[in-house]
Each structure stands twice: as structure tokens, then as C-alpha cells.
Chain A
């Protein structure tokens, strides 16, 4: 992630012809290479905001700049080269007879030579895993395939910035996982507008909260998405990954007379959660550190594997003052091949590494 400002939105406002004011003085900045989540309740203006990023709508006041170039009627062509939007409904974006044609649409509009277009199409289709579908009609694909195809149609355009509108809606879990992996590995500047806070948690460094036509808050994912109270004020909820945690934690905390076996099972379960691998490596943020065992369920083998303490974000009641300790017994390690653990913290843990290896990505 560089220091170059990729998108600079400066106090824009926008009103629809029917008088409905949707954006009311919205400002934000997105750096090159950043992955940002745009979250907020329905009707806040997320779609309208996205349309301003590539000049499909032009703000009535304020300015939008992409890579230093201001978005105006004259600069539209150049802006659209830089910013690609993947819309929510694939059927809105697939309108050519074959898969090949749909992916070639963007490059054709750029006026590129024929062999370059073919190369780009092949590349884009490979990225989304649809290279065998070149001559098929886009209408005859399944929903998941069409969603991937829609992404390919923007990829072939090769913009620097990729904006996604609800990318994971209606996707089956496997395709969703593939998408997440792709997003994490990409070096592009990415803006995810989504209600799927779990994707945001996994993929994005930073969150912007858009409510009522304004960005009312922004901050690192680790702060914003852990703040239950703030999320609920804006008609959102904690990401599912964090909810279960909270719920179980709540159970443990309130049921004083629970027998030890049950307590043990729940506490093991509490920490046998999937790692939310933050961007920039493999980081396990400890949420609750209490007197119970600690298990890691690793999804993918990785040779940079560190555990570090993060904040304990609890809404409302804090947990300051609760004793932190861990059991010291080391159970057997089940290591796979090249999996090295480098634990960078000073607590001893019960480690039971069960590796869940996916086949291929």
C-alpha cells in the first residue's frame, strides 16, 4: 500500500432530478493499493456514491478526483479507464452473445488491437476460472458463473481501482471463498460496498461507514467491526464470526453454575474459530483471553504464522480486570509439512492444530 492518494472525494453532494438529496457533503480518501470496505444501512447512498467514482453520476457540488484527475464530463473516458465497477446483478452487465464478447466489450471500447484484446480476454477468464466457457452464451451459465464472468468483464478492462457492489450476495460458499482469496491476493485498490461484514473483516484494512449521505466514521477494520454499539446504531450488526464468539462468551460468563465439562467444551469451541486472517499476513487476534483452552483451526498452510494480541473489543461492558490465563498443557501437535509456527507472544497455549486444507484455491 503506497502513500499515493488514489481516490479523493471532497465534500460532494448529489440530488436526484426528483428532488431526493442522496449525498450530503461526503468526503473520503482511498490510497493506492488499499482495500477498503464501505458499509452502512440500506438507502444511505452507497450505490449513488459508487456511481460518482467513475462519473456515471456527476456531483452537484464538491469534487471527486481519481489519481489526481478530477472527474468532469471531459475526463470521463480517462477516469473510466482507471475505475472499474462490478455491479451486484450480473445480468445487468452481461449483454453480449458470448462469454468472449462480454469480456471483450471493455477492451474493444478502449480501441485496443485485436491480439491484445484476445490476450486480455484469455487472462481475465483464467483469473475467474472460466477459460473453457469462451464460446458459450452468457445466458446459459449458472448464477455463480455469471457473477464470476461479470468480474472478468471488468478485469479485462484492467482498471487500477476495483469497486464491488455486494460481491458476495447469493454466492455459494465455495465461490465466495474463492472470491475472498482472490481479493486478498490482488494488488489493486479495492473498494467493497457490502453488507457481508465477514468479507470486510477478512479482506479489508479500513472501513468507511456511510449513513444518510455522509461518511460518518472511518477507521481500521479491527476497530470498526468490533464495535457492536456503533454498528447497531447504524442498523448493522457484528460480523457473524465475532457474534458467535460474543454469544458463547456471554454464556460462559453468566452461567456461573455450569459444570466443568460443559465449560470446557464451550471454551474450546470458543477458540476453535476460523482465523480471520487480516491482510498483511496471518494474524490471530485474541478477543477473549480467559481461563480456558485455546484451539486454532487453520485453514490454509502458511509459513508466516504469527500470533499476536489484538485489542479486546467489547461493546458496553468491558472486561478489564478479568484474569487472563491459559492452561499450560501442550497436547500433541499435528504438523503438516511446511507449516511452521512462530508464536510471537508470551502466553503458553494448549495447541491442537487441526489443519483444514482446501484442495486447490
Chain B
């Protein structure tokens, strides 16, 4: 499971060279504009741009696809459920359930939007080192304490993943097989409990180590951000496009997928 999204952060590209602060701000706006879209044509345009963006990051496809797979698994059922459960008139019947084209359209819209947003997310966080992205967030007025905790959590996720694997191995070595019964639940409960206790004891030690090195509540960093004209230029391009997307969507030129009470 690829937990380290910034594995390829050193891959050089137009996006990689973009100052993280302007990058996150501009692409963040893009994400929200895609989320606002209600018409299929505009969604497809957004999707095309997202794909273009990913191409520009030069991140390897297998990496992207692996990340997409989670969303895909989650969304594919929608293609079945939505058309068959759509309220109102139905075009024809399948197995006694009314099939509505509108439902299919909605499902497609959702699907395209979701994939597009995930792609843009990868473009943002896959092209910079994670801690640098977090620092950029801090510069963008994200509360310091939240950023600090995100950094620590990210760091320790790897340590605990390791620990969990070791515990799991030792459990399997003693014949544990997970089944859907109370015994498994009890054992899982103990497993999680043990993991928790170890983590608690670890935080104590980590905190002492930090204090011993002079920590007083704030994380300092040597990272400096520089914005040049090109960074702003890239941002302008993205923002203008995002606005165009939303405007085009509202323009009424294309039928909007009916979603919601309005």
C-alpha cells in the first residue's frame, strides 16, 4: 500500500518546480471548481485538464493508477445502484427495477468528478515532499498546531505499520486466522489495545526526547519558500481556467444533471 505519496517528489517537472504555496492555493481552487460542476461536458473538460496536469507532473502511471484504484472500487457500485434507484420516471425495467437514464448520467458525473479531483490531489501532493507541502499549508494560514500534528502522524504511521506487521506475523505464527466470530473480535480488540499502549508509551518517550533537544512547543524549519513571476503566472492560468469551468457550467448551455433539491 503506497502510503508515501511523495515518493516521487524529486521527479522534475513544471509542477514540481512550482512554488508549493501558490501551487496548493491555485490547484485547491481548481479542485473546488470541479466539485461545483453539474454538467457532463464541463465535467469532461475538467477531467481532461486533470489528466493534462498529471501528465505535466511526470509521475509514473502505475503509481497514479494504484491511488485511483481505491476510489474506483468505491465508486463502481454507483453505476449500478444509481440508475436503478433513481426516483421518478424510468425508461425501462431490469429485474423489476426501473432504470433511469438520469441516474446513469448522475453516476457518470460523480465518477468523472471524483477521478478528476483525485488526480489533481496527486498532482499537488505527489510533486513535493510531504513536510514541505505541510509547511506551505502553514504559510497559507493553516493553524500551526494542525500542521505539526499532521507531520508527526505521517512520520509515525510508518513506524506503526511496521509494528503492526510484526505483531500480525507473530499472531499468525501462533495459528491465528481471522474469521467472522466473537473470538476474532476479541483478539482484534486486544491487538488494537496493545498497539495503543505501545503508542502511548512511545509518545511519552518521544516527548522527552524532544524536550531534551530544546523543544518548546513550536517546530522550526530551515525550509524557505520563494515565489517568482512564473509561479504566479501558473497560478493565474489555473484560476482563470477554474473560473471558466464554473461559468461554463452555470451558463445553461448544457443540461445539468439533476442533483439535489434545486
Q: In the complex where A92-B206, A108-B220, A139-B158 touch, is A97 in contact with B131 (Cβ < 8 A)?
A: yes
The contact sample of 25 A-B pairs, CB cut-off 8 A, is A54-B212, A56-B211, A77-B214, A80-B213, A83-B212, A84-B212, A85-B209, A87-B205, A89-B205, A95-B152, A95-B155, A96-B131, A97-B129, A97-B131, A97-B151, A101-B221, A101-B222, A106-B213, A106-B214, A108-B221, A108-B222, A109-B215, A109-B216, A109-B220, A157-B214
* B62 smallest CB distance to A (angstroms): 21
Q: A51-B208, A95-B152, A97-B151 are in contact. List 12 more A-B contacts (CB 8 A).
A: A77-B214, A77-B216, A80-B213, A80-B214, A84-B213, A87-B212, A92-B202, A92-B209, A96-B155, A106-B213, A110-B214, A114-B222
* A178 smallest CB distance to B (angstroms): 22
Chain A residues whose C-beta falls within 8 Å of the C-beta of B187 in the assembled complex: none
The A92-106 residues at the B interface (CB cut-off 8 A) are: 92-93, 95-97, 101, 104-106
Residues of B within 8 A of A (CB): 129-131, 151-152, 155-156, 158-159, 202, 205-206, 208-216, 220-222
Nearest to A138 among chain B residues (CB) is B155
Chain A residues whose C-beta falls within 8 Å of the C-beta of B131 in the assembled complex: 96-97, 101
CA distance A40 to B203 in the complex (A): 26
Query: Chain A interface secondary structure, helix, strand, loop or mixed?
Result: helix
Chain B residues whose C-beta falls within 8 Å of the C-beta of A153 in the assembled complex: 213
CA distance A54 to B212 in the complex (A): 7
* B253 smallest CB distance to A (angstroms): 47
Nearest to A109 among chain B residues (CB) is B214
A60-80 near B? 1/0 per residue, CB < 8 Å: 000000000000000001001
Chain B residues whose C-beta falls within 8 Å of the C-beta of A157 in the assembled complex: 213-214
Chain B residues whose C-beta falls within 8 Å of the C-beta of A93 in the assembled complex: 206, 209
Chain A residues whose C-beta falls within 8 Å of the C-beta of B205 in the assembled complex: 87, 89, 92
Q: How many A-B residue pairs have CB under 8 A?
A: 72
Are B222's CB and A139's CB within 8 A? no
Chain A residues whose C-beta falls within 8 Å of the C-beta of B215 in the assembled complex: 105, 109
CA distance A101 to B131 in the complex (A): 11
Are A56's CB and B212's CB within 8 A? yes
Chain B residues whose C-beta falls within 8 Å of the C-beta of A101 in the assembled complex: 131, 221-222
A40-67 near B? 1/0 per residue, CB < 8 Å: 0000000000010010100000000000
Nearest to B208 among chain A residues (CB) is A56
Nearest to A81 among chain B residues (CB) is B214
Residues of A within 8 A of B (CB): 51, 54, 56, 77, 80-81, 83-85, 87, 89, 91-93, 95-97, 101, 104-106, 108-110, 114, 117, 139, 153-154, 157
CA distance A80 to B205 in the complex (A): 16
Query: Chain B interface secondary structure, helix, strand, loop or mixed?
Result: helix
Chain A residues whose C-beta falls within 8 Å of the C-beta of B222 in the assembled complex: 101, 104, 108, 114, 117
Are A139's CB and B155's CB within 8 A? yes
* A189 smallest CB distance to B (angstroms): 16
Chain A residues whose C-beta falls within 8 Å of the C-beta of B214 in the assembled complex: 77, 80-81, 106, 109-110, 157
Chain B residues whose C-beta falls within 8 Å of the C-beta of A89 in the assembled complex: 205
Are A139's CB and B208's CB within 8 A? no
* A78 smallest CB distance to B (angstroms): 10
CA distance A182 to B42 in the complex (A): 66
Nearest to A104 among chain B residues (CB) is B222
CA distance A89 to B212 in the complex (A): 14
Are A80's CB and B155's CB within 8 A? no
Q: In the complex where A95-B152, A97-B130, A97-B131 touch, is A105 in contact with B159 (Cβ < 8 A)?
A: no
Are A87's CB and B211's CB within 8 A? no
The listed residue with most B CB atoms (<10 A of its CB), out of A97, A104, A110, A114, is A97
CA distance A104 to B213 in the complex (A): 10
Chain A residues whose C-beta falls within 8 Å of the C-beta of B129 in the assembled complex: 97
Are B213's CB and A97's CB within 8 A? no
Chain A residues whose C-beta falls within 8 Å of the C-beta of B158 in the assembled complex: 139
Are A109's CB and B213's CB within 8 A? yes
CA distance A157 to B211 in the complex (A): 12
* B209 smallest CB distance to A (angstroms): 4
Are A87's CB and B209's CB within 8 A? yes
Chain B residues whose C-beta falls within 8 Å of the C-beta of A110 in the assembled complex: 214
Chain B residues whose C-beta falls within 8 Å of the C-beta of A80 in the assembled complex: 211-214
The listed residue with most B CB atoms (<10 A of its CB), out of A56, A77, A81, A95, is A95
Nearest to A88 among chain B residues (CB) is B205
Chain B residues whose C-beta falls within 8 Å of the C-beta of A81 in the assembled complex: 214
* A139 smallest CB distance to B (angstroms): 5
* B126 smallest CB distance to A (angstroms): 15
Chain B residues whose C-beta falls within 8 Å of the C-beta of A105 in the assembled complex: 210, 213, 215
Are B159's CB and A91's CB within 8 A? yes
Chain A residues whose C-beta falls within 8 Å of the C-beta of B159 in the assembled complex: 91, 139
CA distance A109 to B214 in the complex (A): 6
CA distance A193 to B206 in the complex (A): 19
The 10 closest A-B pairs by CB, nearest first: A109-B214, A108-B220, A92-B205, A106-B213, A97-B131, A93-B209, A85-B212, A56-B208, A139-B158, A92-B206
* B205 smallest CB distance to A (angstroms): 4
Q: In the complex where A97-B131, A104-B222 touch, is A154 in contact with B155 (Cβ < 8 A)?
A: no
